[in-house]
Chains A and B, each alone.
Chain A
Amino acid sequence: MKILRQARNWIDERFGWSKLTEPLRHKTVPIHKLSYWYFLGGITLFLFGIQVCTGILLLMYYRPSANEAFESVQYIMTRVQFGWLVRSIHSWAANLMIFTAFLHMFSVLFLRAYRKPRELTWVSGMILLFLVLGFGFSGYLLPWNTLAFFATKVGTEITGQVPVVGHMMMVLLRGGEEVTGATLSRFFGIHVAVLPGLTAFLILIHLALVQRFGMSLPPSVEAASKVNPGVVREMKFLPNFLLREIMAWYIALGVLGGLAALLPWELGTKADPFGAAPAGIRPEWYFMFMFQTLKLIPSKILHIDGELLGIGAFGLAGAIWVLLPFLEGQREKRGGRLIRGAGVFALCYIVAMTIYGYLAK
């Protein structure tokens, strides 16, 4: 331990390390019956870290061309030592990260942590959620298997339906009119360079804001603590809360390893752009609710194209969601109830539509 102290002193004399970490040492986390929800953000961050590490490892062997992509993933899974582990962890962690990101968003919503002064934390978080979904969409195509190819085809087709800019957006995404090797190149660049850069930047902002404002107290707990101060106690972040976070991360690691070994991620068959789409094509679960909605909308509603209406509705919902903190307005109680209602509706809708999407043929 002495050498660690010496090293820290050396850095401190030159960079003022202690001054930087001072606020962190004073940081506390309120502990109450709803505190477990505080872990979700950290777990999402941890999973992102796992993705960066496994992603870099995959980059050592992956080849982003339509000719070799599938074979390179096959190579990773069969010839590279522990390649199966790295790849399966990457695929599973991706899904888990999207899940925890959604859970984190909903928990922040229901615990009303988006209120003043944390509006921008919410906005940056929502942008991060969209970036994470972008990661999922772009990464899914990279193995260049049949399911991914056609899911991308359908997904980008839907983008093309947006009025005015839709077609241009689709062409920019696809790198052409159709999904080809050019699309793969583009998605690869987006997945390993563009999105990681943007995400890293936004994570820094998001974390800085969280640092700045501290952890918020849910209104119910706040009210209860006014009556009985013992309901909330402050726990030091370093080392106490951090140790608990590390426990949560270790559990996540164990879960990931288990999933990778017991439920390895499938590779499927190589994409044939000229082949027929297999029956029952559908997107990954995190897009299922939107996909199912679009399937259910009738083709025309009052002379407007149904699909267009659906896309418009989701666009509008997304925009509203980002601006949620600003919509609460002055009448906190009524606004709050509205938002909670919207949150419940959204959550139920997403879950129901996702389940429906899987049950429907």
Chain B
Amino acid sequence: MANEDSQQVRPARRRLVEVLLGGGVLASVVSFFYPVLKYLVPPAVPDLGQDEVVAAGVGDLKPNGSKVFRFGSRPALLLLTAEGEYHAVSAVCTHLGCTVQYRSDMHVIWCACHNGTYGLDGRNISGPPPRPLENFQVNIRGKEIVVSRKRGA
């Protein structure tokens, strides 16, 4: 190949290479930084939900009503007594693991599987359950009802 030809080919070729290289670098760098930037933005639920969870909003529950919500990886029960007191307990029956429910007629927490009964504080009253339900702390933070694991002694 004559030198003149190669001189003529080069500018176009050079630009192609520049475009490929520059474009490739830019595109790949963007594809690296895009995830990093998105990563740094806090997700919608900023906390782990392991030790503390917003179970409901104030006014969601009617007196003598209840709600099953997710706490960590297990169901939990939030109930509001007729007198206006909130209670939160684990909803996993200590007998064989069925999900318990609040019986508004009997004012107890009840397990449909084998007729186990618990008090509102989770204490096992009658039937097969061998242990009480784990009790949680309920706090009201503004308009939110926050359920957290009990701390301290």
Direct contact of A and B (CB under 8 A): yes
- Distance between Cα atoms of A68 and B60 in the complex (Å): 29
Question: Which residues of chain B are near A71, meaning CB under 8 Å?
Answer: 48-50, 72
Asked whether any CB of chain B lies closer than 8 Å to the CB of A86, the reply is: yes
Nearest Cβ distance between residue B49 and chain A, in whole angstroms?
A: 8
Q: Per-residue 0/1 for A278-308: is the Cβ within 8 Å of any B Cβ (1 yes, 0 no)? A: 0000000000000000000000000000000
Does B36 contact A57, Cβ atoms closer than 8 Å?
Answer: yes
Annotate B41-65 by CB proximity to A: 1 below 8 A, 0 otherwise: 1011100111100000000000000
CB of B42 to closest CB in A, whole Å: 8
CB-based contact B50/A86 at 8 Å:
no
Residues of chain B contacted by A125 (CB below 8 angstroms): none
Contacts of A83 in B (CB 8 A): 39
Inter-chain contacts of B39 with A (CB < 8 A):
57, 60, 80-83, 85-86
The yes or no answer to B126 lying at the interface (CB within 8 A) is no
Q: Is B139 an interface residue (CB 8 A)?
A: no
- Known A-B contacts A79-B45, A86-B35; A60 and B40 likewise in contact (beta carbons under 8 Å): yes
- Among B35, B44, B45, B49, the residue within 8 A (CB) of A85 is B35
B38's contact among A60, A79, A82, by CB below 8 Å, is which? A82
Measured between alpha carbons, how far is A85 from B40 in the docked complex, in Å?
A: 13
Q: Could you tell me the distance between the alpha carbons of A57 and B33 in the complex, rounded to whole angstroms?
A: 12
Residues in chain A near residue B32, CB distance under 8 A = 253
Mark contacts of A95-134 with chain B using CB atoms, 8 A cut-off: 1 yes-contact digit, 0 otherwise: 0000000000000000000000000000000000000000
Which interface residue of B32, B50, B72 has the most chain A CB atoms within 10 A?
A: B50
Please name the residue on chain B nearest to A63 by beta carbon.
Answer: B48
- How far is B72's CA from A57's CA once the two chains are assembled, in angstroms? 24
Name the CB-closest residue of A to B47.
A75
A18 part of interface (Cβ distance < 8 Å): no
Q: Are A67 and B35 in contact (CB under 8 A)?
A: no
Q: Mark B7-24, 1 if CB is under 8 A from A, else 0.
A: 000000000000000000
Q: Is B28 close to A, CB under 8 A?
A: yes
Task: Indicate if A72 sits at the interface (CB-CB under 8 A).
Answer: yes
Is A81 a contact partner of B41 (Cβ separation < 8 A)? yes
Interface footprint category on A? 10 to 19
Most buried by B among A57, A71, A86, A250: A71
Residues of B within 8 A of A57 (CB): 36, 39-40
Find chain A residues with CB under 8 A from B35 CB: 81-82, 85-86
Our pick among B41, B45, B48, B72 for the contact of A72 (Cβ within 8 Å) is B48
Interface set, chain A 52-71, CB cutoff 8 A to B: 57, 60, 63, 67-68, 71
B40 surroundings in chain A (CB, below 8 A): 57, 60
Contacts of A67 in B (CB 8 A): 50-51
Near B by CB (< 8 A), chain A positions 78-92 give 79-83, 85-86
Q: Which chain B residues border A81 with CB–CB below 8 Å?
A: 35, 38-39, 41, 43
By beta carbon, the residue of chain B nearest A54 is B36
Given A67-B50, A72-B48, A79-B45, residue A250 in contact with residue B28 (CB < 8 A) = yes
CA distance A81 to B38 in the complex (A): 6
Nearest A residue to B34 via CB reads A82
CA distance A80 to B49 in the complex (A): 14
**Which residues of B in the span 63-121 have a Cβ within 8 Å of any Cβ on A?**
72
Shortest Cβ gap from B26 to chain A (Å): 13
| Chain A, Cβ-Cβ closest to B39 | A82
CB distance from B112 to the nearest CB of A (A): 29
- The interface residues of chain B lying within 8 Å CB-to-CB of A60 are 39-40
Interface centre among B40, B51, B72 (most CB of A within 10 A): B40
Q: A86 vs B39: C-alpha distance in the bound complex, in angstroms?
A: 8
Residues of A within 8 A of B48 (CB): 63, 68, 71-72, 75
Q: List 21 A-B contacts (CB under 8 A).
A: A57-B36, A57-B39, A60-B39, A63-B48, A68-B48, A68-B50, A71-B49, A71-B72, A79-B43, A79-B44, A80-B39, A81-B41, A81-B43, A82-B35, A82-B38, A83-B39, A86-B36, A86-B39, A250-B28, A253-B28, A253-B32
Closest 8 CB pairs of A and B: A82-B35, A81-B38, A79-B43, A71-B50, A71-B48, A82-B39, A75-B48, A82-B38
Q: Which residues of B contact A (CB under 8 A)?
A: 28, 32, 35-36, 38-41, 43-45, 48-51, 72
